[in-house]
């Protein structure tokens, strides 16, 4: 077979091509459909009476949505109270983690100090250390401090930054043009000034991305609240839902309605913040090191 | 001031000719002008001060607990009693504890099955997401959106989907005249369910791979095509090596995620089927057996560190950084 023959589009080639197009769309619809079905079913279940949910075959399309189930969920779970608790813990984590990580990342990216490289290697190592390493002794420490049953174990550690935030931000800060910092130094500017007047304004996207990720982590935090919050009134949404499920496991529709109300704020923050995540192309930079 | 600070920078950035020759001025610190020394001290002070939140946090929330945990694991510490040194007794008891062994076994199964699944399925997703197709944005969003669901909510949703009598999964199986297993009440049903939930939520890995795919220069694939490489050969010899750093990251990320699974297993089957972390949780926080809990977590930590180190060692066989 010559080169020319190979490149000439033959009938079978065209057929095969449209077949593979069809296969591609078939796969796309199949895969994305299967991934979305659980969420669709969560929404449908949240507006369907429990008796109907027990029928076979299942009623896949709600003809008469019972939005009142959301009202029941909100009052039975104490949604508003748990929402405010969650918001409190999450805000403390967003502000604390983001702010302190920005400052620490600057120290690793733009200041030369003895011990920096060792400290940074240790920081990288902690990224691979599973959190369970500290879980039990941390509890003892917080117990001895008398912090168990308060929000302090969920909020105070945030003020010390997170290794992941620091690592990602440091990668960005390092790439900012040196000349700007040189010029600032020549003018006698301090590092504090260079941090807030040069680094932060030029790194809005990655900082926003970190803040969004911190919001999501704070919102879905589960293990820590479960361990440290002992008073039912202090529960966050995640463990509030869990405890409601433990006692009212058969109220599938209310649990699904409460789950929707739990994930909605987090998803909303992500969608609104998506532009920062996309334009930051944060992941690629973090991976390339 | 200006010239001197620039001189410092250059000296640190690249070796001066005298260093290439192996000659170093003795006591160079003292040979420098006073002014420069103090600016260097200032620099040191600023660095430590700016880094101090993390330095202190590392001490208070990582290093001290790590050491304390090792110490506690050698004691019979119960939160309500004072601890006594008992040597390695906690570890010996754990080695005989069927619940602990079963929890590690489940986590091991998840590593062997769940990690490959949560790496390979997202690879497939990413290839689909990268294909030129109409409505691609919608398809991408649909494949990614499950990873935005908080673990507690996804655990609740899947517990409902996997409900033996009324769940949608068994409804579908019943419709197809297939057996309807008791997913959450049996050991293998629960393990399978957990793997499925992990794959469902692995959209982040797919997005990372998609970014990696879009970073591959099209010329590279065109060149391979001109050389007569088929689709499979292009994928195997061009795409996959280029993706290998992201794949490696995803493997490590997935391993750490699987070992630390907690919320979903707890929400889906409570303590009726342990994974490593729910066992530790039950021992340390329900029974308040701090010593035994610390010992169990140390076993998990050492296992994790060993696996991660091993993974890093495998990099040279299959990961191509260039």
User: What was the pLDDT predicted at A276?
Assistant: 55
Taking only residues 178 to 207 of chain B, the set having a beta carbon closer than 8 angstroms to any beta carbon of chain A reads 200, 203, 207
- Picking from A68, A86, A109, the residue at the C-terminal end of a domain is A68
A123 and A161 in a single domain? The answer is: yes
The per-residue pLDDT for range B282-297, each reduced to its tens digit, is 999 999 999 999 999 9
A30 and A106 in a single domain? The answer is: no
Which one has a higher pLDDT value, A179 or A278?
A: A179
Nearest to B153 among A101, A103, A262 (CB): A262
Given a cut of 90, whether residue A279 has pLDDT beyond it is no
Which of chain A's residues have a Cβ under 8 Å away from the Cβ of B100?
none
Whether B245 and chain A come into contact, CB under 8 Å, resolves to: yes
Which one has a higher pLDDT value, A270 or A282?
A: A270
A24 and A145 in a single domain? The answer is: no
CATH number at residue A126: 1.10.3720.10
User: What was the pLDDT predicted at B262?
Assistant: 96
Q: Give the confidence band of B27 by pLDDT, cuts at 50, 70, 90.
A: very low
Given a cut of 90, whether residue A284 has pLDDT beyond it is no
Which of chain B's residues have a Cβ under 8 Å away from the Cβ of A133?
62, 65-66, 69, 297-298, 301
Q: Which of B139, B131, B122 is nearest to B208 (CA)?
A: B122
A17 and A61 in a single domain? The answer is: yes
Predicted ipTM of the assembly: 0.87
Given a cut of 80, whether residue B25 has pLDDT beyond it is no
Percent of chain B with pLDDT over 90: 75
The per-residue pLDDT for range B81-131, each reduced to its tens digit, is 888 999 899 999 999 999 999 999 999 999 999 999 999 999 999 999 999
Which of chain A's residues have a Cβ under 8 Å away from the Cβ of B203?
35
Whole-number Cα distances in Å, B41 to A48, B24, B29, B38, B142: 68, 22, 11, 5, 54
Q: Give the confidence band of B229 by pLDDT, cuts at 50, 70, 90.
A: confident
Given a cut of 50, whether residue B313 has pLDDT beyond it is yes
Residue of chain A with shortest Cα separation from B289:
A136
**Contact between A138 and B61 using a beta-carbon 8 Å cutoff:** yes
Nearest-angstrom CA–CA distance, A37 and B286: 36
A134 and A21 in a single domain? The answer is: no
Average the pLDDT over A17-41 and give the result: 91
Q: Give the confidence band of B10 by pLDDT, cuts at 50, 70, 90.
A: very low
Average the pLDDT over B227-240 and give the result: 90
Nearest-angstrom CA–CA distance, A51 and B300: 44
Given a cut of 90, whether residue B152 has pLDDT beyond it is yes
**Contact between A111 and B208 using a beta-carbon 8 Å cutoff:** no
DSSP for B137-189? Answer: HHHHHHHHGGGGS-HHHHHHHHHHHT-TTT-HHHHHHHHTT-----TTTSHHH
**Average pLDDT of chain A?**
88
Given a cut of 80, whether residue A1 has pLDDT beyond it is no
- Picking from A15, A48, A68, the residue at the C-terminal end of a domain is A68
**Contact between A31 and B124 using a beta-carbon 8 Å cutoff:** yes
Whether B94 and chain A come into contact, CB under 8 Å, resolves to: no
User: What was the pLDDT predicted at B118?
Assistant: 96
Given a cut of 50, whether residue B5 has pLDDT beyond it is no
User: What was the pLDDT predicted at B117?
Assistant: 96
Q: Which of A249, A203, A191, A240 is nearest to A219 (CA)?
A: A240
Which one has a higher pLDDT value, B85 or B14?
A: B85
**Contact between B54 and A116 using a beta-carbon 8 Å cutoff:** no
Note whether A85 and A234 are within 8 A (CB).
Answer: yes
A25 and A110 in a single domain? The answer is: no
Q: Give the confidence band of B1 by pLDDT, cuts at 50, 70, 90.
A: very low
Nearest to B57 among A42, A129, A157 (CB): A157
User: What was the pLDDT predicted at B11?
Assistant: 38
Full residue range of the structural domain in which residue A63 is found: 3-68
Which of chain B's residues have a Cβ under 8 Å away from the Cβ of A262?
150, 152-153
Which of chain B's residues have a Cβ under 8 Å away from the Cβ of A191?
46, 50
Please identify which residue in the block is written with the tokens 């655990």. Answer: B155
Which of chain A's residues have a Cβ under 8 Å away from the Cβ of B65?
133-134, 137-138, 141
Instruction: Please give the class, per CATH, of domain B93-318.
Output: mainly alpha
User: What was the pLDDT predicted at A95?
Assistant: 97
Which of chain B's residues have a Cβ under 8 Å away from the Cβ of A161?
53-54, 57
Q: What is the pTM of this model?
A: 0.86
The per-residue pLDDT for range B187-201, each reduced to its tens digit, is 999 999 999 999 999
Q: Give the confidence band of A11 by pLDDT, cuts at 50, 70, 90.
A: low
CB pairs under 8 A between A and B: 262
Given a cut of 80, whether residue A35 has pLDDT beyond it is yes
Q: Give the confidence band of B29 by pLDDT, cuts at 50, 70, 90.
A: very low
User: What was the pLDDT predicted at A122?
Assistant: 97
- Picking from A43, A68, A93, the residue at the C-terminal end of a domain is A68
User: What was the pLDDT predicted at A12?
Assistant: 67
The per-residue pLDDT for range A190-207, each reduced to its tens digit, is 999 999 999 999 998 889
Whether B302 and chain A come into contact, CB under 8 Å, resolves to: no
**Contact between A242 and B152 using a beta-carbon 8 Å cutoff:** yes
Average the pLDDT over B60-67 and give the result: 95
**Contact between B208 and A132 using a beta-carbon 8 Å cutoff:** no
Whether B120 and chain A come into contact, CB under 8 Å, resolves to: no
Residue B163, min C-alpha distance to chain A (Å): 10
Indicate the number of domains in chain A.
2
Nearest to B256 among A56, A128, A288 (CB): A128
A110 and A243 in a single domain? The answer is: yes
Q: What are phi and psi of B81, to 5 degrees?
A: -120, 160
User: What was the pLDDT predicted at B37?
Assistant: 53
User: What was the pLDDT predicted at B272?
Assistant: 87
The per-residue pLDDT for range A110-138, each reduced to its tens digit, is 999 999 999 999 999 999 999 899 999 99
- In three-state form (DSSP H/G/I as H, E/B as E, the rest C), the secondary structure along A140-202 is HHHHHCCCCCCCHHHHHHHHHCCHHHHHHHHHHHHHCCHHHHHHHHHCCCCHHHHHHHHHHHH
Beta bridge partners of B78: B81
Given a cut of 70, whether residue A258 has pLDDT beyond it is yes
A63 and A122 in a single domain? The answer is: no
User: What was the pLDDT predicted at B15?
Assistant: 42
Q: Which of B200, B163, B136, B133 is nearest to A37 (CA)?
A: B200
A122 and A244 in a single domain? The answer is: yes
The per-residue pLDDT for range B32-57, each reduced to its tens digit, is 444 455 788 889 999 999 999 999 99
Average the pLDDT over A75-84 and give the result: 93
Report the alpha-carbon angle B313-B314-B318, nearest 5: 140
Q: Which of A132, A224, A137 is nearest to B304 (CA)?
A: A132
């Amino acid at each position: 077979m010559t080169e020319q023959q190979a490149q000439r589009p033959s009938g079978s080639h065209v057929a095969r091509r449209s077949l593979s197009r069809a296969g591609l769309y078939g796969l796309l619809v199949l895969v994305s459909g299967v991934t979305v079905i659980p969420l669709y079913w969560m929404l449908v279940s949240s507006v369907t009476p429990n008796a109907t949910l027990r029928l076979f075959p299942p009623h896949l399309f709600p003809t008469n949505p019972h939005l009142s189930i959301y009202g029941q969920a909100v009052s039975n779970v104490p949604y508003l109270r748990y929402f405010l608790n969650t918001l409190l813990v999450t805000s403390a984590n967003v502000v604390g983690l983001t702010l302190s990580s920005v400052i620490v990342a600057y120290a690793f990216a733009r200041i030369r100090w003895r011990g920096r490289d060792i400290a940074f290697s240790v920081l990288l190592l902690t990224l691979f250390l599973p959190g369970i390493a500290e879980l039990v002794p941390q509890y003892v420490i917080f117990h001895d401090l008398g912090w168990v049953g308060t929000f302090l174990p969920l909020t105070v550690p945030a003020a010390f930054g997170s290794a992941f935030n620091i690592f990602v931000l440091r990668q960005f800060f390092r790439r900012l043009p040196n000349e700007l910092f040189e010029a600032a130094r020549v003018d006698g500017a301090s590092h504090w000034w260079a941090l807030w007047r040069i680094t932060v304004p030029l790194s809005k996207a990655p900082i926003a991305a970190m803040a969004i990720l911190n919001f999501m982590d704070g919102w879905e935090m589960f293990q820590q609240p479960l361990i440290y919050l002992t008073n039912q009134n202090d529960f966050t949404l995640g463990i509030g839902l869990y405890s409601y499920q433990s006692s009212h496991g058969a109220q599938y529709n209310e649990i699904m309605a409460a789950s929707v109300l739990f994930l909605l704020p987090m998803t909303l923050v992500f969608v609104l913040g998506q532009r920062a995540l996309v334009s930051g192309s944060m992941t690629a930079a973090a991976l390339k090191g | 001031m200006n010239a001197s600070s620039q001189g410092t920078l250059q000296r640190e950035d690249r070796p001066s000719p005298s260093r290439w020759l192996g000659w170093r001025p003795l006591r160079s610190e003292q040979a420098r002008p006073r002014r420069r020394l103090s600016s260097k001290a200032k620099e040191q002070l600023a660095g430590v001060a700016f880094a101090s939140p993390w330095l202190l946090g590392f001490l208070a929330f990582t290093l001290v607990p790590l050491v304390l945990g090792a110490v506690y694991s050698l004691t019979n510490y119960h939160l309500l009693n004072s601890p006594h040194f008992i040597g390695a007794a906690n570890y010996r008891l754990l080695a005989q504890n069927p619940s602990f062994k079963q929890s590690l076994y489940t986590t091991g199964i998840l590593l062997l099955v769940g990690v490959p699944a949560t790496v390979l399925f997202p690879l497939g997703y990413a290839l689909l997401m990268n294909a030129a197709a109409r409505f691609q944005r919608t398809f991408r969003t649909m494949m990614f959106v499950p990873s935005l669901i908080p673990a507690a909510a996804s655990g609740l949703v899947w517990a409902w989907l996997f409900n033996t009598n009324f769940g949608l999964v068994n409804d579908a199986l019943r419709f197809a005249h297939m057996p309807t297993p008791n997913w959450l009440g049996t050991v293998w049903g629960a393990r399978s369910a957990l793997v499925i939930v992990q794959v469902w939520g692995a959209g982040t890995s797919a997005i990372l791979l998609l970014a990696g795919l879009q970073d591959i220069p099209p010329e590279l694939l065109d060149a391979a095509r001109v050389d007569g490489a088929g689709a499979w050969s292009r994928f195997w010899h061009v795409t996959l090596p280029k993706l290998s750093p992201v794949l490696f990251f995803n493997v490590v990320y997935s391993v750490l995620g699987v070992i630390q699974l907690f919320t979903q297993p707890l929400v889906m089957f409570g303590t009726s089927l342990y994974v490593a972390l729910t066992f530790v949780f039950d021992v340390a926080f329900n029974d308040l057996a701090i010593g035994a809990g610390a010992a169990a977590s140390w076993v998990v930590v050492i296992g994790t560190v060993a696996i991660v180190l091993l993974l890093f060692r495998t990099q040279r066989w299959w990961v191509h950084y260039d």
